[in-house]
Amino acid sequence: MVPNMVIAQGGSGNGSSLRLRGIGSSSISAAFDHSVAINLDGVVVNRGRFIHNSYMDMAQLEVLKGPQSLYFGKSATAGVVSIMTNDPGDEFEFQLSGGVETEHEGTFYEMVISGPLPDTFGARLAIGGSENDELFENFSFDNDPNAAINGAEEFYGDESMNMRLTLLWEPSDNFRARLKYNYSEFDNNGGGTAYVEEVCPEGMHQPTLAVGLTFQRVTTMVSPV
């Protein structure tokens, strides 16, 4: 919903392409840092694949436009996507969600287990994933008699799995230690290399309309004779 911001998923290389106000980096540039930095729980990861891990069990999301090198380092030419994830709380939590996407034959799930352990220790485990079987269609499959022999498929899809483990130790009011371990895995079967999700707030592309108004002020000066 941020104007002029695009997050495109890539099938190889860095994992995704982030662009903000027209500045960004290619998803295939695995050897270079992003122009839009990804700050996950105070740590700049600069690997586009972790943007999918960040969506899971998210507590806060900020999009900071423009160069942010002063607080986030040199790899923030266009801006920063700053994401904070949830920590374990004082009570036991269990969340389970899932869904089915019919257009691309997709499924997704997410599970969170969190709670305090004895004394001053807490743990939180979040696991999520998705699978799309018909994300890309091969239109030449039916017209090629050797398609199946050559290893081509009629539909291509992808599969992802993300996990985050958070350990929190707070022995006193003025000391707090937190450890977060993130794991992200993505596989596709050779279909398209990237796709972009277009979001239109009102359900349709908004027309571009420019209205110009011109005002003219006429001043008359009278001098005594």
Boundaries of every domain in the chain: 5-196
Can you give the pLDDT of all 225 residues of the chain as single tens digits?
777 788 777 656 666 777 888 877 766 666 667 778 888 888 887 776 677 777 789 899 888 888 887 777 777 778 888 889 999 988 999 999 999 988 878 899 999 999 998 888 999 999 999 888 887 777 676 777 666 666 677 788 888 889 999 999 998 889 999 999 988 887 777 655 555 555 555 555 544 444 444 444 444 444 454
What residue type is 69 in one-letter code? S
pTM of the model: 0.71
